[in-house]
Structure 1
């Protein structure tokens, strides 16, 4: 199998494929990638198959590959019963199925190209040949099926007689119908009835389909209306300030993710891939290489520790300060990354919960067509309805009282208007009599203007008085507050100075605390790394100890078995010597040789009796065919007797008619 894979990789790395596989990368290909490689090899043989299998359905891909492999006359390894497993493995991209196909194709690529080219012009003729073979086989089966021309003629004559009887019966029915008046109209009406019933069934089906379509359309409309309502509510509740704040937060978060987090992750992934590629490109390592690398790692670790000790002994204050600031920056960056990851996880969880909520809401809305209220919302809704109902009852009672009062006032207004019109007519007649027409109107206007002026003057006076009183009150209140706050302000001045001193001292202490905490955090991280390295080293040594101990026990057991076997083989006691493995194997060999002799003798007897037995089997089959032929003849005779009886009954029916 390794030689096969090595040959495949060598051929794929050459022209025209130009792959960069090695044994590890080729063996680690996914099933879809392996199918794509097989498809590229098939496309090199037949250009019609140059297709990306990701853009093609799996059943079409399998059908296309099966057809081309059939044209190229590829025979899968194994028996005919393994064909289903072969098809399944080709569809799923199984390595044990595809590797032999690639090996077979890459061995004879030029020959298969020629065969695929010729197959374009020969497949049709081969199909015609296969069709001719099938038809010829069916013709031979019909010739040898046992039907004679005499029997066929008898069947044809019987069917013709039956046809004549049916025609006569139809004629008799027509004669009976001819005596009925308006029979043509009745037949036409029956035909129309049948047509209308069929049309009614089709219309009912169309009506049912339209009902279903209308129901689905109403459901879609309800969903769309609810979505529109939700969007409107979201836009109505949102304020510009909150939207801008949310957008600023999203912009800051996305900027951090794009500029800081994602480039770092991408760089780390690239480094990991680069290291893995280097590891894959290197040849396989043995135990000696691994031990050499471990010694190099230990040497480098010791050098790093020595450099750290030298730096700590040098103890440059400027470097220490910068180191503390770097530690603080790294701690803050780690916290920032952790918070960003938590925010991303929270957003993903929020989006998933929102999707689930929308799905549940749609399901509830589809169930009864309305939005489902929660427990507290439903209680508030019920209490709100109750308060509204009581308010509605009060308002309705007040409205009835107001309507009754409105009717009374309206009637009073009408009576007063009538009286006013009568008085005005009398007043106008008196003014016309004395020659002062329009005097009353002018007097009323003057009175109205004077009343309005007096009201305005009164309002101005009240406003000025109120403003002066308010100013007096405010001045008095300010003076009172000043006198009350004077001692408090005197006490506050030294307290402010003390607060500034304490704030400055707090800032200094806080900076010292932060620097100390950063130093302790860095030392703790170093110690944790050292402890982790020592634990890993301890675990490796323990595994090596257990491995060596197991090898030792296995070796001791093998040595013990060899010593026991030697004692048994050298022993003078024949019973003890029979327990040795050599003696047991010799006995097994002798038993198998005797069994082989018996089987050869049995095979010889079977070969000698094969000819007579086959003749006896052939005679038995001929006897079965003869009995089957007699059975068919008897059944045909029974059928003919039943047909004759039917004909006789038909003649009796004619005599009766």
Structure 2
């Protein structure tokens, strides 16, 4: 249980809830607050549930939550012994009911979002049959059902596209690449146009090229029509050859066969066709229908997650176990010797399997015969296309080899062999039926002999069987008593476990409260000790000890800060008084700097005009500039 609550708290502290819970604060939530947390989780799955439950009646809240949990296929855990207590527990905000729901919802939030989204469109509106008798309502409801089916198809296609591996980024890259190719082709076409414009008679050449392209397209179309006509001619020749071969076979059969053999063959074909139509094909059709019905049922079902698959696998395993148990009970109770029709059923099943095998074998032979006839027709057409003559037979094998079309005679012989094999199979089938009837007679005789031999053994077995029934009855009674006692003990054990769980939770809460109170006590004791030490130092006669008191330290700090503030205020006063003269002096110094800079510039300019070592005349005298 603690791991479950820990998982719920971790998920609620993440996006998009961001609750900032811990185990203590989550466990101390009031029932109404816990219901609000559950409602926020449901609103994350289905946004239409994003409401404040304080503004909603309790019955409406319970109805709304039950509806959504039913759509999401939530099942209460096994520890909820009474399902009737589930609804009141949900309404009152019981922790034992809401905590498992939160754990189940937060484990599979994404799958449940998808299921809730699909439920808005796939859960059909229930309309009474009386209203459906109206034509308008019936037509509207049929349109509604068609829209639901259309939504299923579109959603399935959307999921296939999502899972197909194509992403938006890849499609955008492809579009950009195609646009670049388009720009390159446009530039290339423009360059070609410029190059063509310089050629004389380019319009006439373009027109001729256009006509050439049209003629090539027409030639391709004519070639395609020619090929289609050849194929049609080939299929017509094949049909003609099959008809001629059937006519030939019928003529041979009517010329060589007697009426009795024809009737026998027709009876065999009728029996075979009757068996195929009335027995084998209906079974295959029924199995196909069952498969289609099952697939349609699977398609109609909503998308299933891993949890649903696990539940179905568990159910399948449980049902298989029950089936095996029932089979074992049946095998223990039923005695093969008492079932007088057991051997007959066994022999009938063997005969049925043999009959199906022979029917499949005959069908395969027919298909092989048809394929051989088709191959013969193809080779005959090849030979006719080669030299315009019919297939060569008998002694003209050398001519076949000369023309490179050997094998036609062998094919004809193979077809004759297959026909003979078919007739032999028909005869074997008739003999098989006779043998099977003889076998049934022998088996009936053998069964009668076995019954007479087993009669004394059966007489001895009857009292033993009666004793077995008495023991079985006694065993069933004691087992029922044991099951009732075990059920009572199990119910007592579950109640005790619930009491122990409640006491453990109460013990945990008391331990938490004890540690919290102990920490508060230690903090208070420490504060009292510090106050006593402070009082002791404050009333001490020793000045050194008194100086260690916190009050004295704070007083000294206050005095130091006051002295420091006094000095700073005096300094601030001096700065204010000397601010004007100092600013005036700074201005004078800046003016002096500008004057000196100006003199420097004038000196450099004069020096550049009168280089060093130049002699100039000044006042009628020669002067050397150094």
> Which bin holds the TM-score, normalised by the shorter protein?
under 0.3
Residue 177 of structure 1 is aligned with which of 196, 206, 211? 196
Greater mean deviation of Cα atoms: 312-321 or 32-41: 312-321
Q: Unpaired segments of 5 or more residues in structure 2?
A: 125-143
When residues 49 and 570 of structure 1 are mapped into structure 2, their CA distance, relative to the original with a 3 A threshold, is same
| Matches of 2:383 and 2:401, distance apart in 1 | 83
| Matches of 1:39 and 1:68, distance apart in 2 | 11
| Matches of 2:400 and 2:360, distance apart in 1 | 97
CA deviations over 1:282-325 (Å, ceiling 9, x no partner): 99999999999999999999999999999999999999999999
Contact 1:39 1:49 in 2 (8 A): yes
Higher helix share: 1
Greater mean deviation of Cα atoms: 460-469 or 82-91: 82-91
CA deviations over 1:570-625 (Å, ceiling 9, x no partner): 22211111111221111000011112122223333444555577778889999999
Contact 1:324 1:518 in 2 (8 A): no
CA deviations over 1:63-109 (Å, ceiling 9, x no partner): 99999999999999999999999999999999999999999999999
RMSD (Å), alpha carbons = 29.2
Contact 2:7 2:103 in 1 (8 A): yes
Contact 1:365 1:371 in 2 (8 A): yes
Greater mean deviation of Cα atoms: 253-262 or 19-28: 253-262
State the shift of 1:529 in Å.
3.2
State the shift of 1:166 in Å.
38
State the shift of 1:525 in Å.
2.4
When residues 172 and 491 of structure 1 are mapped into structure 2, their CA distance, relative to the original with a 3 A threshold, is closer
Contact 1:565 1:581 in 2 (8 A): yes
Q: Which residue of 2 aligns with 1:52?
A: 52
Greater mean deviation of Cα atoms: 517-526 or 355-364: 355-364
Contact 1:568 1:580 in 2 (8 A): yes
| Matches of 1:472 and 1:141, distance apart in 2 | 62
Q: Unpaired segments of 5 or more residues in structure 1?
A: 377-427
When residues 487 and 503 of structure 1 are mapped into structure 2, their CA distance, relative to the original with a 3 A threshold, is same
When residues 11 and 222 of structure 1 are mapped into structure 2, their CA distance, relative to the original with a 3 A threshold, is farther
State the shift of 1:556 in Å.
3.5
State the shift of 1:499 in Å.
3.3
When residues 209 and 93 of structure 1 are mapped into structure 2, their CA distance, relative to the original with a 3 A threshold, is farther
Contact 2:616 2:624 in 1 (8 A): no
Q: SS at the partner of 1:638? A: helix
When residues 111 and 557 of structure 1 are mapped into structure 2, their CA distance, relative to the original with a 3 A threshold, is same
Contact 1:11 1:106 in 2 (8 A): yes
Contact 2:373 2:415 in 1 (8 A): no
Contact 1:4 1:103 in 2 (8 A): yes
State the shift of 1:161 in Å.
45
| Matches of 2:500 and 2:477, distance apart in 1 | 35
State the shift of 1:518 in Å.
1.7
| Matches of 2:294 and 2:463, distance apart in 1 | 66
When residues 360 and 299 of structure 1 are mapped into structure 2, their CA distance, relative to the original with a 3 A threshold, is same
| Matches of 1:323 and 1:38, distance apart in 2 | 62
When residues 229 and 3 of structure 1 are mapped into structure 2, their CA distance, relative to the original with a 3 A threshold, is farther
Contact 1:327 1:518 in 2 (8 A): no
State the shift of 1:500 in Å.
2.6
Q: SS at the partner of 1:571? A: coil
Greater mean deviation of Cα atoms: 135-144 or 277-286: 135-144
Residue 458 of structure 2 is aligned with which of 489, 493, 496? 489
When residues 620 and 545 of structure 1 are mapped into structure 2, their CA distance, relative to the original with a 3 A threshold, is same
State the shift of 1:516 in Å.
0.9
Q: Which residue of 1 aligns with 2:441?
A: 472
Contact 1:24 1:280 in 2 (8 A): no
CA deviations over 1:327-363 (Å, ceiling 9, x no partner): 9999999999999999999999999999999999999
CA deviations over 1:133-189 (Å, ceiling 9, x no partner): 999999999999999999999999999999999999999999999999999999999
Q: Which residue of 1 aligns with 2:400?
A: 431
When residues 483 and 543 of structure 1 are mapped into structure 2, their CA distance, relative to the original with a 3 A threshold, is same
Q: Which residue of 2 aligns with 1:405?
A: none
Query: Number of residue pairs matched?
Result: 606
* Structure with larger RCO (C-alpha < 8 A, sep 6+): 1
When residues 13 and 292 of structure 1 are mapped into structure 2, their CA distance, relative to the original with a 3 A threshold, is closer
Q: TM-score, normalised by structure 1?
A: 0.26
Q: Which residue of 1 aligns with 2:141?
A: none
| Matches of 2:78 and 2:590, distance apart in 1 | 34
